[in-house]
Chains A and B, each alone.
Chain A
């Protein structure tokens, strides 16, 4: 063993005492950090794998949608919602499946798919899910439920569309004053977005959509 001078001895003792006092704490902190990092990596890996598997199912779903194979489409969408809840592919798959079902007159399936997106989707996809769910509910004449969907506050970009669908719902119930106000809100929202430069970038398409809103509003005449 090496020979230490007095000062070094002292320091060694000092370190030893310090370690005795805080050793456990330091070890447990380091351990916790290591576990945290490993857990984070593992979680990432797991998510990546889930997502890759979801992508495969989504590919099948897309192909089925393209080929109009309703059976396979429904199965794939079901698998996504069941086994890959956490993946965004579940939302994308549900939107696609809902569209195909809606066009085929199958409101029930469309409703289930969209309700899932409205419930579990993230950010803009959830907003889209609610918007479209409201359309399906409107066709089912469940006006109150439909209204509930589009009375939720979406990302500002969806404000015009939400207001428009609110108007559609009021109009279907012949509530003209409410509908008039909703369409006016939609017009105001779209104009505000255009002014702020945060609206649609394709000016021509934006103008065409605005005209549709204007016509809907005009058809209800002036407020009394």
Chain B
């Protein structure tokens, strides 16, 4: 082998050179990089959107929807294939924008970044950006400064790109004016309705037609599978009712938690402050003089305080500080206040501020609530605690019992002293009869194969926090088809309506043809003015379109349209076409704005579609499907 190398040195050298070349330019990572994961939900311009990214976005969207809809939120909303695809699509949109921004070297400037961060209200202190707050906030979120700023810069860059395209839509004034005229145009029409009831006598559906209808619409004549079930519900509330708390237990709890029932004490005091300033001795002698005066004239405390106290907050109020609790005053002051009796005068109390002369003027609280006062509170508390404890212990035993003795719920009911309850008939879709079993998880368990066919207990299902339910089927009615004879009348009715509607339509079309040929001998009624702007309130949308689509070059013009929901046929005679003499300026503005924003939206959609086409987008539908049972 080495001979071969030696003899062909030149070839080997060239070969070695060729091997080293790519490493010089592309590095090793392009060889070991994951070439694409089959679980990625999409690839956009060669970059993957991973399953994790998708799931995160899906959860975010779910949260948003839940927040927006509140109790009306239905989990199935987010499970539909359309909803999944919408999540992927928004990720793809974001990705193409990002790729485009990178390709075009767009990147928001440092100035902008600084500006935006400094204006985040949570990072401000006294209306100014605070670096310390910024740091704390980052730490609290577990972010590094570089990471956060890079993410923010990316968001801002995308905003620049998106904003420059989507906020700059323009509509030519001429086009807007034309649109306005279209919207405002009024057509005076007379109406002639041909109702299907006129033709009811002629509509005689044949037996074959009815049979055919029955065969073709089996699904609508099906009675779904139904069950009657019994169930046992284990919940904290159910356990609560079983518990008894003895007076001794309440008493010992009370003794052990007295601090909870102690109301904190507050006192009200007045004081005279002689600040120590630079000369403490002088201040002290001054304070002593004031003290003496107060002692001689305790009733004049307020007056003296007004005159002598140098505490700006309280002097004008006669020294009154109002009520305060422990911990809100300096220590020597607090000690003095909380050791004096009400109405008593202190000696000189020295604090950092200077010398105080204090009088306590009120005491409130500080009492212990008696056992009788708090008995119900303690009883409820103890019961709740015991019930949660018991529930936690019982939950597993309950699950095991219904599983191990799976042909009856009685053992579980007896063991936990729970009532065995029964439901009425209900289908897989739940409904009122199902009661607590109407819960989605419970229904799924109940209509599972083993439970349904072998009449076993369901597992214990958590239908709400701290609430477990186990159920079994008492009686089962399989799905069935209503026999033809029982629904014959119903079918006949439907077909009659359909046929008479068809007859009405035919008659209407014939009449319209005559009208267009110039024969108008009809009894028109109901003259009204319609416009597109107000239209949907006056006539159904289909009729509105027909009226305005009709060529009004020569009046009267005629048009006709089939009314929705087997409503027959309606003929319209257009008698006058006009523009309103003046259009309300407000309305004009609103319409113009609506039209512009619609066009801007379309522009942006087209922009995105253009990007999508340019950066090959592939959505992996299979990965989306697999992901169903997350």
Q: Residues on A close to B: CB < 8 A?
A: 11, 47-48, 51-52, 55-56, 58-59, 62, 87-89, 92-93, 95-96, 98-99, 102, 110, 122-125, 127-128, 131-132, 134-136, 138-139, 155-158, 160-161, 165, 168, 171-172, 193, 198-202, 205-206, 208-209, 212, 214-216, 218-219, 221-222
Contact = CB atoms under 8 A, between A and B. Distances in A.
A57 B90 CA distance: 30
B97 to A, nearest CB: 11
A157 B608 CA distance: 9
Given A168-B175, A218-B549, A95 B168 contact: yes
Contacts of A205: 598, 601-602, 605
B178 interface: yes
A187 to B, nearest CB: 13
B111 A59 contact: yes
B403 interface: no
B49 to A, nearest CB: 15
Contacts of B614: 123-124, 155
A56 to B, nearest CB: 4
A133 B178 CA distance: 19
B610 A99 contact: no
Contacts of A124: 606-607, 610-611, 614
B87 to A, nearest CB: 11
B164 A95 contact: yes
B532 A98 contact: no
Interface stretch (B101-109, B322-330, B441-449): B101-109
B172 A168 contact: yes
What are the nearest 5 A-B pairs in CB distance?
A: A200-B605, A157-B609, A92-B164, A88-B104, A99-B168
Given A88-B105, A95-B164, A99-B170, A215 B607 contact: no
B551 A155 contact: no
A218 B545 contact: yes
Contacts of B105: 47-48, 51, 87-88
B167 interface: yes
B160 A52 contact: no
B199 interface: no
B577 to A, nearest CB: 11
Contacts of A198: 609, 612-613
A216 B179 contact: yes
Given A95-B165, A155-B613, A201-B608, 15 more contacts: A11-B9, A48-B105, A92-B165, A96-B168, A155-B609, A157-B613, A165-B172, A168-B178, A198-B609, A200-B606, A202-B601, A209-B601, A215-B183, A215-B548, A222-B551
A155 B609 CA distance: 9
Contact of A201 (B93, B167, B172, B175): B93
21 contacts: A51-B106, A55-B108, A59-B109, A62-B163, A92-B160, A127-B606, A135-B172, A135-B175, A139-B172, A155-B609, A157-B613, A158-B610, A165-B175, A168-B174, A198-B612, A200-B606, A206-B602, A209-B598, A212-B179, A215-B183, A216-B178
A135 B605 contact: no
Contacts of B86: 201
Given A200-B602, A212-B179, A215-B532, A172 B174 contact: yes
Interface in B155-204: 160-161, 163-165, 167-175, 178-179, 182-183, 185
B112 interface: yes
A193 B160 CA distance: 27
How many B residues are at the interface, by size bracket? 35 or more
B254 interface: no
Contacts of B179: 212, 215-216
A51 B599 CA distance: 30
A33 to B, nearest CB: 10
A206 B605 CA distance: 9
B591 to A, nearest CB: 11
A181 B128 CA distance: 60
A208 B598 contact: yes
A35 to B, nearest CB: 15
Interface string B91-123: 001000000000011111101100000000000
A221 B182 CA distance: 12
A123 B603 CA distance: 14
Contacts of B165: 92, 95, 125, 128
A199 B602 CA distance: 9
Interface string B45-75: 0000000000000000000000000000000
Nearest to A156: B613
A99 B173 CA distance: 13
Contacts of B89: 201
B164 A171 contact: no
Nearest to A44: B105
A36 B603 CA distance: 40
Given A59-B111, A92-B160, A124-B607, A98 B170 contact: yes
Contact of A99 (B90, B112, B167, B606): B167
B247 interface: no
B182 A219 contact: yes
A64 B271 CA distance: 59
B164 A96 contact: yes
Contact of B174 (A88, A132, A138): A138
A89 B595 contact: no
B171 A135 contact: yes
B625 to A, nearest CB: 17
B109 A52 contact: yes
A110 B174 CA distance: 16
Contacts of A158: 606, 610
Interface in B139-169: 160-161, 163-165, 167-169
Contacts of A171: 175, 178
